[in-house]
Amino acid sequence: MGYALFCILIFPGFLFLSAVSLFAEYFDRKLYARLQNRVGPPWFQPLADFIKLLGKEDVVPEEADRTMFDLSPVFALAAVIVAFFYIPMWGARALYSFSGDLIVVLYLLTIPTLTFFLGGWYSRSLFSTIGAVRSITQLFAYEIPLFVAILAPAMLANTWSLSEVAAYYYAHPFFWPINLIAFGVALVALLGKLERVPFDIPEAETEIVAGSFTEYSGRLLAYFRMAIDIETVVGASLLAAVFLPFGLGLPPPLGFILYLAKIFAIIVALTLFRTVFARLRIDQMVEFCWKWVAPIAFLQILINLVLKVFVIR
C-alpha cells in the first residue's frame, strides 16, 4: 500500500509529473521565444505563475453555475494524471496496465476538452460561451484522426494494451517506420487537443480574450493551466510509447533519460509548428481535419490492414 501511494503521489506520479510539466512549459516558452529572437522567461516562471494564481482570489460570475464552474478544473486535472499511469515510460510496462488500457487513455484525454466546454458554458459569459462552443467543435475535428492514428499501430500489434504495443514494436523494430504517417497525423491532432497554434481557436486572445477561461481566476485557473501542462507531457508520452518505442530494454537510468529525450523531442516539434503557422479560423480547422488529416489517418489503417493480412499472418 505504501509503495502504491509513493508511485501515485511522488514518483512517477503527481509530483514528478507536475515538475516535468512545469519544466516542459518553460522549455516550450523559452524555445518559442528564441525562435522569435526574444529572450523568453526564466526557468522558474511557470512555477511562479502557478504559485501566484494559487494565492489569488477565485472570482465567480454571479450567473455562473457554481458547481460546474468549480468542478471542471478538478476533473480536467484528475483525468490527465490518471491517464499517465497507463502509459509505459522507460520500462516494459506501465505503472498500471491491463488489456484495453489504450481505449481508457484515449477516453481520459478527451475529458479535459469536455471540461473546457462545460467550464466555459456554465460561466455564462459571452466570450466564455464562444470559446466553449469552439472547443467542442474543434474536438469533433481532431478526435477521430487522433483515435485512428493511435489505433492503427495497435491493430498491427494485435493488442489494445499500450504496454504490449510498445513491447511489440520494440521486439519488431523494422515495423515501426510503417506507422510514420500515423505519427504525423497524431502530432497534428495533438496540437488541436492542446489548443496550440495554429489550433488555439477556442482561446484566441485577440478575438475572445481567453475563450473558455475568460472568467476563471485564482486557484481554479491554476488547475486548468496545470492540467494543460500535464496533458502536454501525457500526450507526448503517449506518442512516444506508440511511435517511438526505443530503449525499453535499457537499464532504468538510461531508459529514463531516453524517455525524457523522446517527450522533449515531441515538444520541440509542437513548438516548431506553433512558431511557423498562424492561427486558423474554426471552419478552416474543421475542413482541414476532415478533408486532409482524417483521410491520411485512414490510409494508415488501410496500409496496416494490408500488412496484417498479407505479410504478418
**Closest CA relative to residue 241, chosen from 157, 309, 123:** 157
Locate the domains of the chain by residue range: 52-310
- The rounded distance, in Å, linking the Cα atoms of 101 and 176 is 20
Q: What digits encode the pLDDT tens for the residues 40-80?
A: 899 899 999 999 999 888 888 888 888 888 899 999 999 99
Q: Cell 467542442 identifies what position?
A: 136
Q: Cell 486548468 identifies what position?
A: 224
Q: What digits encode the pLDDT tens for the residues 158-178?
A: 889 998 998 888 888 888 889
Instruction: Tell me the backbone φ, ψ of residue 97, rounded to 5 degrees.
Output: -135, 145
Q: Which three cell numbers stand for residue 145?
A: 484522426
- The rounded distance, in Å, linking the Cα atoms of 242 and 102 is 10
Q: Is residue 260 very low, low, confident or very high in pLDDT (cuts 50, 70, 90)?
A: very high
Prediction pTM value: 0.93
**Closest CA relative to residue 115, chosen from 69, 173, 67, 153:** 69
